Chain A
Amino acid sequence: MRLLIIGSGGVGQSTAMIIKLAGKEGEWAEKVVVSDYNFERAEHVAKLCGDPRFVAEKVDARDAKSITSLINKHDINFVMNAVEPSFNENIFDTCFECGVRYMDCAMTLSKRHPEKPFELAHIKLGDYQFAKHEEWEKAGLMALVGSGVEPGMADVFARFAEKHLFDTIDEVNVRDGDNYDIPGHEGVAFGFSIWTTIEECLNPPVVWEKDRGWFCTEPFSEPEIFSFPGGIGDIEVINVEHEEVLLVPRVIDCNRVTFKYGVPEEMRTLLLNLQQCGMDDAERKIKVGDSEITPRDFLVKVVPDPLELAPKMIGQGCAGTWVTGTKDGMRRSVYLYQVADNQECYKKYGTNSVVAQTAFGPVIMLELIDKGIWDLKGVHGPESFDPDPFIERMAKYGFPGGMQEKDSEYCEMLNQGRLLAEKE
């Protein structure tokens, strides 16, 4: 594969490093062009990899010509989009024009309903991309959308649960929580893209139900306590707008899909405050002195880059999919997860665990695509593919997964069986 990574921030850097550190297993990557608007960042990542396969380039993700020229220059046959989703449409369309396969970690953006934003879904995440499915299919091209960790790995887990763990599925609930801390840091800390955090936390969260379809709620709605594995424990999670809710019901037969995330109370207040005074605004230009800027773009420049805080952050983050349904006539409840330790990730990849987790899924998927194991034309999410080869490779790439059998009739049956087995 001759891969162009657009964006050398946390996810771009981690992707390159995971490929590099995979050694022989990563040799499917014949060439990796690491690009960024900030050439120095791209150069830094290429140098970190210290391998002639990795080269740095400057790119302007807003400019189709800039992307096309890199694709042509390096004879690229796959583009991984690792920039903020506001650039998605341009990159997605440019890949189509160039006849190159495409992948992103977050789908094209939603637009809230003009009259009932906290009730009705309007333009949903990925609508722009799925509307072009047939064009891509006819062209014999693959676009794999929502392919990070959440969305991405979480969708693979849902498909795995459907394939191996359940006869019928009731709910697919993606749950994300952490116990991150930055000792001595008193400022605001974002774990990943500030732009994206604002986007997904302040947009009306979307929920899917079989009878209602997609609908929206108030931000931070339906709080619940979820018990995370890996020593993280009980965390209050709340509804957040996320791609899995749009992707999973397209492929997996179930009754309800949600995404909930452990946004600390302090962060919720901060985000709501930003929204109240319009600092979250990504569209309106504000005149300050002689200059005009978009408040959110300005915030991204002012707030400490998550990469800068990565070395100081301690703790673990857990991403996973909680599936409920029936198995052998019994109610079953299972949480499939991956826990990453920040300090370990920083030592290995030079990035924080949130973005490293986001990057390992795409790397596995890229290998599967390169080897023809995952091969579908058109626009697809990760749940459209066989989950087994992905699950098999998680540990190999340094991100082993786990499965927690939660309280249920089925769990009780398993527990009883274990007791008897111990006796024997």
Chain B
Amino acid sequence: MANKKKILILGVGAQGSTVAKFMDGEDTVSEIVCADNDEKAVNYLVDNLKKGSGKLVDANSTDSIVKAAEGVDLIVNALPAQFGFNVFDAAIAVKANYQDFTAPDVPGIDWVESIKKMYTKTGERFRAIDRTALIATGSAPGLINVAARDAMRYLDSCETIYMLVYEGVKAKRFLPFWWSVETAYTDMVDDAYCYENGEILVTEPFSRPVYEKFKHIDEEIKLIEHAHDEPVIMGINADEFFRGAKNIYFKYGGFGVEFAETLYKMGMLSREPVEVDGCKIVPLNLAIKLTPPAPKYREEIQEIIDEGLESDTGAMVIKAYGEKDGEKVLVETYVDAPGFVDSFEKSGLTAEMYLTGQGGALFTKMFADDRIDQKGLISSDMLTMEQVDYYLKHAAKLDITLDTEVRKI
């Protein structure tokens, strides 16, 4: 059995709390330090853990993180992306492993270049202390990257990978997003990326639509370009981990996307101030102000379920086109996971929180179980096939499974 680990969870929102609760039940964990700048949220979480302790942290300060991280084996960074580099520094200072949900962001620096440097320079720093930083470990990125890796088993060479995510849960009340409205809108208007003909390209938000008929959904779904990590990190790793794929796309659809697209096309998600009667107002700020927030608490989610959902569906699908034994094939993988109501019944969480939190927790478990033996900085798409198997074996226990079909084309 692996040595028992002490874990620091930085940020006790939906994702951090889910990881903490999951790891609380793991024999390989000795202590879970829950840290945030919100004391009430920390205490609430700690009160619900057997192995929990709490700390207040200011993530703007590396020193503050270092103090909270003394003696831990792993820091799980569940904070917004802008704090990523502070947490890297703290992890290196205390010689801890590192895990996050999305690739860290450095304001003012080209994102693609910063990720490339992260693999090399930050990777070197972690290698130097014989530790691992594992980035992009939620559901997408995270679980979807593992599923894409798994699809590579069925190919000798790969040409194109589509990662398709459809959020089809629709409440009776007007509720376009199941997570932070601010994050949703800002993600929606950020430049998107695709990996095309072996190059990472910037694409316009909501552009290049594809229309997909998912096997369990009657209507054809429109999915568009959306700012996400996968095409960038998988593009960088295409030769080594994705059978030389030349094209990698992330496409996103759903009611929230359609809603945001209408606002975007009207200019209502612009960050440029508009003058009205002598007052300057940023359209995005008005959009955020008027859009109802996502439900956070159990009672709110229960109320929405009690009202009845207009639809409780969704899809996470990987389509990998390539060759096997000289023939052109399509590997189509559906990630099957609990829907909205199922997720709530299992965990008191929305499907979005459930999949992201549990998808991330499985990576934390792999650290705790000594299953991550690479050193330096890796992303969730760089697992070995043995690691992929381990991840998926434990995902199945959470009713998260892959349904893969290989077809000649």
Chain A interface residues (CB < 8 Å from chain B): 186-188, 269-270, 273-274, 276-279, 286, 288-293, 295, 297-299, 301-304
CA distance A16 to B292 in the complex (A): 45
The reply to whether B289 and A302 form a contact with Cβ atoms under 8 Å apart is no
The reply to whether A278 and B266 form a contact with Cβ atoms under 8 Å apart is no
B82 contacts partner chain A, Cβ-Cβ < 8 Å: no
B81 to nearest A CB, angstroms? 25
Give which listed residue, A186, A297, A302, A304, contacts B268 with CB less than 8 A.
A302
Most chain B beta-carbon neighbours within 10 Å: one of A276, A288, A298, A304? A288
The reply to whether B276 and A293 form a contact with Cβ atoms under 8 Å apart is yes
Give which listed residue, A278, A292, A302, contacts B290 with CB less than 8 A.
A278
Query: Known interface pairs A188-B265, A273-B259, A293-B281. Does A298 touch B290 (Cβ–Cβ under 8 Å)?
Result: no
With a cutoff of 8 Å between Cβ atoms, the chain A residues found around residue B292 in the complex are: 277
Instruction: A298-B281, A299-B266 are known; give 13 further A-B pairs, CB within 8 A.
Output: A186-B265, A187-B266, A273-B258, A273-B263, A279-B287, A286-B289, A288-B286, A293-B277, A293-B281, A295-B290, A297-B276, A299-B268, A303-B266
CA distance A304 to B274 in the complex (A): 12
Give which listed residue, A274, A276, A302, contacts B270 with CB less than 8 A.
A302
A-B contact pairs, 19 of them (CB 8 A): A187-B267, A188-B262, A188-B265, A273-B259, A273-B263, A277-B291, A288-B285, A288-B286, A288-B289, A291-B276, A292-B279, A293-B277, A293-B281, A295-B286, A299-B268, A301-B274, A301-B276, A303-B266, A303-B267
B231 contacts partner chain A, Cβ-Cβ < 8 Å: no
CA distance A277 to B269 in the complex (A): 14
CA distance A269 to B276 in the complex (A): 26
B283 contacts partner chain A, Cβ-Cβ < 8 Å: yes
With a cutoff of 8 Å between Cβ atoms, the chain B residues found around residue A269 in the complex are: 258, 262
Chain A residue with minimal CB distance to B275? Answer: A301
| Count class of interface residues, chain B | 20 to 34
CA distance A241 to B28 in the complex (A): 67
The reply to whether B266 and A298 form a contact with Cβ atoms under 8 Å apart is no
With a cutoff of 8 Å between Cβ atoms, the chain A residues found around residue B279 in the complex are: 290-293
B356 to nearest A CB, angstroms? 25
Chain B interface residues (CB < 8 Å from chain A): 174, 176, 258-259, 262-263, 265-268, 270, 274-277, 279-283, 285-287, 289-292
The reply to whether B274 and A188 form a contact with Cβ atoms under 8 Å apart is no
CA distance A278 to B262 in the complex (A): 14
Chain A residue with minimal CB distance to B173? Answer: A276
Query: Known interface pairs A301-B274, A302-B274. Does A289 touch B285 (Cβ–Cβ under 8 Å)?
Result: yes
Chain A residue with minimal CB distance to B280? Answer: A291
Give which listed residue, A270, A286, A303, contacts B286 with CB less than 8 A.
A286
Chain B residue with minimal CB distance to A287? Answer: B289
With a cutoff of 8 Å between Cβ atoms, the chain A residues found around residue B287 in the complex are: 277, 279
CA distance A297 to B174 in the complex (A): 22
With a cutoff of 8 Å between Cβ atoms, the chain A residues found around residue B259 in the complex are: 273
With a cutoff of 8 Å between Cβ atoms, the chain B residues found around residue A292 in the complex are: 279
CA distance A276 to B290 in the complex (A): 9
With a cutoff of 8 Å between Cβ atoms, the chain B residues found around residue A188 in the complex are: 262, 265-266
Chain A residue with minimal CB distance to B259? Answer: A273
With a cutoff of 8 Å between Cβ atoms, the chain B residues found around residue A279 in the complex are: 268, 286-287, 290
With a cutoff of 8 Å between Cβ atoms, the chain A residues found around residue B174 in the complex are: 276-277
With a cutoff of 8 Å between Cβ atoms, the chain A residues found around residue B285 in the complex are: 288-289
Most chain B beta-carbon neighbours within 10 Å: one of A277, A289, A303? A277
CA distance A270 to B291 in the complex (A): 14
CA distance A297 to B279 in the complex (A): 12
A284 to nearest B CB, angstroms? 10
CA distance A298 to B283 in the complex (A): 8
With a cutoff of 8 Å between Cβ atoms, the chain A residues found around residue B281 in the complex are: 288-289, 291, 293, 298
With a cutoff of 8 Å between Cβ atoms, the chain A residues found around residue B276 in the complex are: 291, 293, 297-298, 301
With a cutoff of 8 Å between Cβ atoms, the chain B residues found around residue A186 in the complex are: 265
A84 to nearest B CB, angstroms? 15
The reply to whether A293 and B262 form a contact with Cβ atoms under 8 Å apart is no
Give which listed residue, B176, B262, B274, B291, contacts A298 with CB less than 8 A.
B274
CA distance A298 to B287 in the complex (A): 11
Chain B residue with minimal CB distance to A277? Answer: B290
Give which listed residue, B258, B265, B268, B286, contacts A293 with CB less than 8 A.
B286
B285 to nearest A CB, angstroms? 5
Chain B residue with minimal CB distance to A293? Answer: B276
CA distance A391 to B292 in the complex (A): 52
The reply to whether B265 and A187 form a contact with Cβ atoms under 8 Å apart is yes
With a cutoff of 8 Å between Cβ atoms, the chain A residues found around residue B282 in the complex are: 288-289
With a cutoff of 8 Å between Cβ atoms, the chain A residues found around residue B268 in the complex are: 279, 299, 302
Chain A residue with minimal CB distance to B283? Answer: A302
With a cutoff of 8 Å between Cβ atoms, the chain A residues found around residue B275 in the complex are: 301
B225 to nearest A CB, angstroms? 13
With a cutoff of 8 Å between Cβ atoms, the chain B residues found around residue A303 in the complex are: 266-267
CA distance A286 to B281 in the complex (A): 11
